[in-house]
Amino acid sequence: MSNPALTTAPQAIDPTFENVWDEIVWRGLVHVSTDQEALRALLAGDPITYYCGFDPTAPSLHLGNLVQLLLLRRLQLAGHKPIGLVGGSTGLIGDPRPTAERTLNTRETVEEWVGRLRAQVERFLSFEGENAARMVNNLDWTAPMSAIDFLREIGKHYRVGTMLKKDAVAARLNSDAGISYTEFSYQILQGMDFLELYRQYDCVLQTGGSDQWGNLTSGTDLIHRVEGTSAHAIGTPLITNSDGTKFGKSEGNAIWLDADMCSPYRMYQFWLSTADADVIDRLKIFTFLTRAEIEEYAALVETEPFRRAAQKRLALEVVATVHGADATAAVIAASDALFGQGDLNALDAATLRSALDELPNATLAAGTAVVDALVATGLVASLSEARRAIAQGGVSLDGARVEDDAAVVEGTLPGGVSVLRRGKKTLAGIFID
**Digit-coded pLDDT (tens) for 294-333:** 999 999 999 999 999 999 999 999 999 999 999 999 999 9
Whether 313 and 283 have beta carbons less than 8 Å apart is answered as: yes
Average pLDDT, the chain: 93
Whether 376 and 364 have beta carbons less than 8 Å apart is answered as: yes
Q: What is the pLDDT of residue 254?
A: 82
- Please provide the distance, in angstroms rounded to a whole number, between the alpha carbons at the two ends of the chain: 33
Please work out, in degrees rounded to the nearest 5, the angle formed at the alpha carbon of residue 47 by the alpha carbons of 206 and 135: 50
How far, in Å, CA of 119 to CA of 130, rounded?
A: 21
Q: What is the mean pLDDT of residues 29-35?
A: 98
Same domain, 315 and 331: yes
Percent of the chain predicted with pLDDT > 70? 97
Q: What is the pLDDT of residue 219?
A: 96
Q: What is the pLDDT of residue 276?
A: 97
Whether 285 and 241 have beta carbons less than 8 Å apart is answered as: no
Is the pLDDT confidence value at 2 over 60?
no
Same domain, 65 and 203: yes
Whether 257 and 116 have beta carbons less than 8 Å apart is answered as: no
Same domain, 311 and 363: no
Residue 4 lies inside a defined structural domain of this protein: no
Same domain, 258 and 338: yes
Q: Which residues contact 76 (CB under 8 A, 6 or more apart)?
A: 82, 125, 126, 131, 133
Percent of the chain predicted with pLDDT > 90? 81
How far, in Å, CA of 161 to CA of 27, rounded?
A: 36
With bands split at pLDDT 50, 70 and 90, how would you rate the model's confidence at 367? very high
Same domain, 274 and 387: no
Number of compact structural domains in the chain:
3
With bands split at pLDDT 50, 70 and 90, how would you rate the model's confidence at 178? confident
Q: What is the pLDDT of residue 84?
A: 98
By the 10 Å C-beta count (0-12 exposed, 13-18 middle, 19+ buried), 355 is classed as buried
Residue 13 lies inside a defined structural domain of this protein: no
Same domain, 297 and 428: no
* pLDDT tens digits, one per residue of 93-152: 877 777 777 788 999 999 999 999 999 999 999 999 999 999 999 999 999 999 999 999
* Sheet of strand 395-397: strand arrangement: 361-364, 426-432, 417-422, 395-397, 400-401
Q: Which residues contact 4 (CB under 8 A, 6 or more apart)?
A: 312, 316, 332
Same domain, 331 and 379: no
Q: Exposure pattern of 104-130 as b/e (b: 16+ CB <10 Å)?
A: ebeeeebbebbebbbebbeebbeeeee
Is the pLDDT confidence value at 6 over 90?
no
How far, in Å, CA of 124 to CA of 129, rounded?
A: 15
Residue 7 lies inside a defined structural domain of this protein: no
Whether 379 and 422 have beta carbons less than 8 Å apart is answered as: yes
Q: Which residues contact 8 (CB under 8 A, 6 or more apart)?
A: 316, 317, 320, 321, 325
Q: Give the domain CATH number at 346.
A: 1.10.240.10
Q: Give the domain CATH number at 385.
A: 3.10.290.10
Same domain, 275 and 385: no
User: Which of 353, 380, 414 is the C-terminal boundary of a domain?
Assistant: 353
Same domain, 348 and 369: no
Q: What is the pLDDT of residue 357?
A: 92
Residue 5 lies inside a defined structural domain of this protein: no
Q: What is the pLDDT of residue 3?
A: 38
* pLDDT tens digits, one per residue of 336-348: 999 888 899 999 9
Residue with the bigger pLDDT between 164 and 232: it is: 232
Q: What residues pair up with 246 in beta bridges, in sequence order?
A: 240
Please tell me the least confidently modeled range out of 107-116, 217-226, 244-253.
244-253
Q: What is the mean pLDDT of residues 245-267?
A: 82
Whether 132 and 187 have beta carbons less than 8 Å apart is answered as: no
Q: What is the pLDDT of residue 247?
A: 76
Residue 277 lies inside a defined structural domain of this protein: yes
User: Which of 353, 383, 399 is the C-terminal boundary of a domain?
Assistant: 353
* pLDDT tens digits, one per residue of 392-430: 999 999 999 999 988 999 999 999 999 999 998 899 999
Residue 154 lies inside a defined structural domain of this protein: yes
Same domain, 214 and 297: no
Q: What is the mean pLDDT of residues 46-56?
A: 97
User: Which of 238, 266, 288 is the C-terminal boundary of a domain?
Assistant: 238
Q: Is the dihedral of CA 118, 119, 122, 128 positive or negative?
A: positive
With bands split at pLDDT 50, 70 and 90, how would you rate the model's confidence at 90? very high
Tell me which DSSP letter residue 368 carries: E
Q: Which residues contact 387 (CB under 8 A, 6 or more apart)?
A: 371, 405
How far, in Å, CA of 29 to CA of 18, rounded?
A: 17
Is the pLDDT confidence value at 169 over 90?
no
Residue 392 lies inside a defined structural domain of this protein: yes
Same domain, 212 and 287: no
Structural domain range at position 412: 359-433
Residue 100 lies inside a defined structural domain of this protein: yes
